[in-house]
Amino acid sequence: MRSKLEWRPARVIAIENPAEDVRAVTFAVDGLRSVFDPGSHTNVKVVIRGQIAIRTYTVLPSAPGHLKIAVKLHPNSRGGSAYIWSLADGDAVEVTEPENRFELSWRASRYLLIAGGIGITPIYGMAKALCARNQSVRLIYGAKSRSQMAFVDELQGLLGDRLETFIQDDGRNFDLAAEFAALPADGEAYICGPHGLLEAARNLWRASGRSMSRLRFEVFGDSGRFAEQAFSVNVAAYDRTIEVRADQTMLDALTEAGISMIYDCRRGECGLCAVDVLDCSSAVDHRDVFFSQEERHEGAKMCACVSRAAGGSITIGTGYRPGAI
């Protein structure tokens, strides 16, 4: 089990709405040690149906001692975004010291930043940092409508014609193949957006023959092929069946039920929480970026922190022995 999270008491000191469906919340954090880089994230203890759960959010550029996050109110939210939207000035929460798994390399001759919707949150900080160091950068930013594009006016002022926006309601979409072809060999792309956008980018990047180390990405954990539904998990080694609510991850349901699990990122990136899929009465909704498309197609494993069954029941092997309960 993960043990290195360093929790800090915090309270809400500012609330803004940088887009019609996005709320930015600034916390004053007691004992915040680190100065953090763009792409960093913090964990927040949220309350869902009276239970504490942990949700992870990108931290925006913030003053020392403060952490600012921006959260889209998701219609299929498992409850985390609704909780953040319910916060008011002065409310107390707990957050962690920021960590970064989506770092700028600072080694590229040109940076292509790609944001889909609320995926702008890490990309916004990266754009500011790259501009501050006079790096060569282009940002392509897509959303359903302009009113849903957080920080777009500020980014327009910062980047000028190095920002191109793609509004789906206007019928515009990214041409990732052309964008990648325009990058020099030592150029890099950083992308944050929904699962489908990342999959398309990964496949095109791989097909272009470029080093995969020069494509860095972060995915939304809540963007799957199916809307969240409740399902049952049969844990073979424990001979137990655990119910997973629609607003709960499989990992949370298993750990709350006392099943010993290993995990780290809780974002579908590290693969530590992977379990064996022994049987599934519905489809497995893979929402990770750890497994390859081929591995997901084989369906032998899934990341418990983000992936879920599309209803019905699933039987898994955790690889651990029952004595750990």
CA distance 170 to 126: 27
Smallest distance, Å, CB 288 to ligand FES? Answer: 6
Structure tokens at 25: 């919340």
Q: x/- contact string, 45-84, with ligand FES (CB under 6 A)?
A: ----------------------------------------
Smallest distance, Å, CB 262 to ligand FES? Answer: 8
Smallest distance, Å, CB 259 to ligand FES? Answer: 14
Pairing of strands 284-285, 274-280: unpaired
Structure tokens at 104: 């700028």
Q: In terms of CB distance, is 65 or 319 closer to ligand FES?
A: 319
In order of 237, 265, 288, 305, 325, the CA distances from 193 in angstroms are 36, 17, 13, 18, 37
Residues in the chain: 325
Smallest distance, Å, CB 242 to ligand FES? Answer: 17
Contact 210, 112 (CB under 8 A): no
Pairing of strands 111-116, 66-72: unpaired
Q: In terms of CB distance, is 179 or 228 closer to ligand FES?
A: 228
Q: x/- contact string, 206-245, with ligand FES (CB under 6 A)?
A: ----------------------------------------
Please give the DSSP secondary-structure letter assigned to residue 63: -
Distance of CA 211 to the CA centre of its chain: 23
Q: x/- contact string, 122-161, with ligand FES (CB under 6 A)?
A: ----------------------------------------
Name which position in 69, 95, 302, 305 contacts ligand FES (CB under 6 A).
305
Report the run of H or E that residue 152 belongs to, with start and end: helix 152-159
Q: Does 102 bind ligand FES (CB under 6 A)?
A: no
Smallest distance, Å, CB 277 to ligand FES? Answer: 14
Q: Does 194 bind ligand FES (CB under 6 A)?
A: no
In order of 30, 73, 172, the CA distances from 24 in angstroms are 19, 11, 27
Name which position in 91, 264, 276, 295 contacts ligand FES (CB under 6 A).
264
Of the candidates 245, 121, 282, 109, which has an alpha carbon nearest to the alpha carbon of residue 182?
109
Q: In terms of CB distance, is 18 or 80 closer to ligand FES?
A: 80
DSSP-assigned beta bridge partners for residue 116: 142
Q: Does 296 bind ligand FES (CB under 6 A)?
A: no
- Catalog residues that contact ligand FES under the rule CB under 6 A: 263-266, 268-273, 288, 290, 303, 305
